[in-house]
Amino acid sequence: MSTEVESAQKAPTPEVLAEVEREHEEELVTAGDNLEALNRMRSQFFGPKGRITSLLRSVGQLPAEQRREAGARTNQLKQTLEAKLVVRINALESVEKEKELRRSRLDLTLPGRLAHPRGALHPVNRVIEEMVDILTRMGFELATGPEVELDWYNFEALNFPKDHPARDMQDTFFIASPDGKGTLEHVLRTHTSPVQTRELERRGAPLRIIAPGRVYRCDSDATHSPMFHQIEGLWVDEGVSMAHLKGVLTSFINALFGERGVRFRPSFFPFVEPGVEVDVGCVFCGGTGCRVCKHTGWMEILGAGMVHPKVLENCKVDPERYTGFAFGLGIDRVAMQRWGIDDLAHLFRSDVRFLSQL
């Protein structure tokens, strides 16, 4: 800028300083409340190449006897003018800041917004946890087995002979063997009962286990899904009787549903003798009869029985020495009852809008 060059050559005489002061005054008026213009002024006058800076520098070129006074004058002016400018800039900046704060109205006392919505356990897992909790308190140990199972553990060892009609009721999915040939040796387990035979064979007696997990049947409608959940229980030891079965299952059902009454009916399953089906007083009508319980007042919830001696033998456990009972129940139905879910498929659609209501 030519003015800078000019003033760099001028010595800071009182006249020159008065002129600079006047200019400063004028520009201050022109800049008004324009913060940008004021900041520009600041560097024009006081920046490294600014007018005052140049004047200060030129003090050094004056004859020695003038330097002291000229330096003091220039410094004095610098301080006065820069202070004026800075006061103005600071005032405007704080007004701007105030405006900005008012505009964003940031209320620091508000609770924060969650960056990630909090998830929850799936209703099926909640029921599983509850059941496992009740049964482990009764001394049952948690066990697991594979979902792709051998025909032996899923059927044969459980006393389902090859052509037994009870196999038909299980709507089995068969798995091709690795060579691609359908040998019918591998199935998707149709129930959790194969964990009984696996664990009995592997660990022998005494044994007290529960085994929740996924099971598969070729069946699909509002109350059936090709994949669903069961929990199995097995207690084998010396002297285990039907009284143990009734006692354990009654406590289990009461803990799960509240005390609504428990009913045992004779039934058939190939791997138990005798076999029973167990009902609980209808959770919807409390036993007076409604559409859900088909006006019986009872809801069937599990199958059970005394372990068939043939099953113990198949698993190399001596049936003369050991006896036991087993039970199995569907978990999804319990979840449906608990939360009044009318379609089983809701449980497996993974729709957060549904799951977040529970």
- Tell me which residues touch ligand DAH (CB under 6 A): 191, 193, 232, 269, 272, 303-305, 326-328
Name the residue nearer to ligand DAH (CB basis): 42 or 203.
203
DSSP letter (8 states) at residue 224: B
In contact, 159 and 308? CB cutoff 8 Å? yes
* Closest to 54 (Cα-Cα) out of 65, 40, 44: 44
123 or 303: CB nearest ligand DAH: 303
Of 275 and 297, the one with the shorter C-beta distance to ligand DAH is 275
**Dihedral, CA of residue 317, residue 319, residue 321 and residue 327, to nearest 10:** 80
CB contact burial 136-174 (16+ within 10 A = b; e otherwise): eeeebeebebeeebbbebbbebbbbeeeeeebeebebbe
Angle (CA) 136-159-302 rounded to 5° is 40
- Shortest Å distance, C-beta 106 to ligand DAH: 60
State in angstroms the smallest separation of the CB of 269 from ligand DAH: 4
Contact by Cβ (8 Å): 21, 77: yes
Give me the least distance between CB of 323 and ligand DAH, in Å please.
13
End-to-end CA distance of the chain: 74
> Which CB, 56 or 317, lies closer to ligand DAH?
317
Residue 45 or residue 160: which is nearer to ligand DAH going by CB? 160
CB-based contact 253:301 (threshold 8 Å)? yes
Instruction: Give the span between the Cα atoms of 248 and 237, in whole angstroms.
Output: 14
Output 50 or 328, the one with its CB closest to ligand DAH.
328
Could you tell me if 224 and 217 are in contact, meaning their C-beta atoms sit under 8 angstroms apart? yes
CB of 343 to ligand DAH, least distance (A): 21
Least Å from the CB of residue 257 to ligand DAH: 18
CB of 328 to ligand DAH, least distance (A): 3
Which DSSP symbol is given to 140? P
Q: Name which of 51 and 229 has its Cβ closer to ligand DAH.
A: 229
Give the CA-trace dihedral at 156, 159, 165, 168, to 10 degrees. Answer: -50
Instruction: Give the residues across from 210 on adjacent strands.
Output: 142, 233
State in angstroms the smallest separation of the CB of 169 from ligand DAH: 8
Q: Is the Cβ of residue 24 or residue 191 nearer to ligand DAH in the bound state?
A: 191
Are 74 and 52 in contact by the 8 Å Cβ rule? The answer is: yes
Shortest Cβ 309–ligand DAH spacing (Å): 14
